[in-house]
A and B are shown apart, each in its own frame.
Chain A
């Protein structure tokens, strides 16, 4: 099976801080991969490197069979722009464009970047909005939406470019608890539909266990445990994974009270 994404012995540091160290990860096309781990473990950095928002220091990263990063070499801007079309990203803080309507947020990039006709792009945008359950909010401005609605629009916006790989960076972490469900519902539909490679950095263990084909636990910039959800979340082997899950579950218990 072909690989959507491959990290090979990747090292990355911010100043003195090592964020990734001898990091290896292969993601086959079509896989739903959940990345879990404590904050500062480097999991968001993995997504940002795959989206070509950050470079690396050592090693090599391949996206859809093409080299994206190799050591500190930075590909020319035109090359980066072409490669970025292979991936789409949804951010923790939505990052919707506040000066555009919900619909324009979705059709704008396909028109500007992919050269699709405005009418076709708008039709597709409306379809995507229906898919995330927000057809009736097409003309609203982002500031008029709830957090959960904003995040669903952000997912539709990223999907509009039809990238083969979708990266979700803690997309429910900034939401009020009652809005987490509607966003997870959209992700579940997307996962069920198949065809797209999905990488999810998440703190929602139960959700990860439910939709992921595979779970990676990261700590200190490395992969500590890697396997099916039943193992990594259900019955972790590594002591560090156990400790992490225990602390997360304690948090969940406290919230349930």
Chain B
């Protein structure tokens, strides 16, 4: 048992990279999700179409192949991003595509009466969206966004396939050196699980913060 704990520092080094990629990709995904989600519903035709194309491409293809394409194929076209940037970019784009649908769905689910009340008070479309509709939709977005963040965390295991020493990669190395497969992967599972719990906890706090004073879920009755 002491021996297996001796492996922990190495795995924690890997976890640090895993978390770095998760956080940076999540920030990128959040921005992309909001921009693409709003563009699909409210932007002029060409922009809406561009957003829809982005969402369909990144939802419709495998994240692993997307990583491979950006890491192995793009350099052949003269664009070299490096493994870390590729990981953040691809996972952010992938997660953002799912997130865009969450944003679009949540905004579409805000009752029409909220738009009408804001409009009748003199707000334009943008003002009504910013002040009235989006804050309500944001609350409805939190639970599915939490799911996506956990998906993203687990998807980071794929970056071990493009030379990055994340948690999964380090587990493979340790396994090859020590052959203590059972213990190593139990440790790895626990570490991923704890990281996911942390996300769930954070999302729960965010939801309670956004829902203060409200006696039911995300949307107006």
User: Chain A: residues with CB nearer than 8 A to chain B?
Assistant: 51-53, 77, 81, 84-85, 87-89, 91, 93, 95-99, 101, 108-109, 112-114, 141, 143-144, 154, 157-158, 161
Q: Using an 8 Å CB-CB cutoff, how does the interface string of B107-124 with A read, 1 for contact, 0 for none?
A: 000010110111111111
User: Which residues of the other chain, B, contact A87 by a CB distance below 8 angstroms?
Assistant: 120
Interfacial chain A residues near B136, Cβ < 8 Å: 97-99
Q: What is the CA–CA distance of A89 and B122 in the complex, to the nearest angstrom?
A: 11
Where chain B touches its partner, the secondary structure class is: helix
Could you tell me if A112 and B123 are in contact, using CB atoms closer than 8 angstroms?
yes
- Enumerate chain A residues within 8 angstroms of B215, measured Cβ to Cβ: 143-144
> Closest Cβ of chain B: how far from A199's Cβ, in Å?
13
Tell me whether A108 and B122 are in contact in the complex, defined as CB-CB below 8 angstroms, given that A95-B114, A98-B136 are known contacts.
no
Q: What 4 A-B pairs are tightest by C-beta distance, nearest first?
A: A141-B213, A95-B117, A109-B121, A113-B122
* Interface residue? B127 (CB, 8 A): yes
The count of A-to-B residue pairs whose CB atoms sit within 8 angstroms is 75
Contact of B117 among A85, A91, A113, A114 (CB under 8 A): A91
A54 to B119, CA, bound (A): 11
Distance in Å from the Cβ of B135 to the closest Cβ of chain A? 5
The CA-CA distance from A12 to B127 in the complex, in Å, is 28
Given A99-B135, A108-B131, CB of A158 within 8 Å of CB of B121? yes
Q: Which of B122, B135, B139 contacts A161 (CB 8 A)?
A: B122
CB distance from B208 to the nearest CB of A (A): 14
24 sampled A-B residue pairs with Cβ under 8 A:
A51-B120, A52-B119, A53-B120, A81-B122, A84-B120, A87-B120, A88-B120, A91-B116, A95-B116, A95-B220, A98-B220, A108-B131, A109-B118, A109-B123, A112-B127, A113-B123, A113-B127, A141-B213, A141-B214, A143-B215, A143-B216, A144-B215, A157-B121, A161-B122
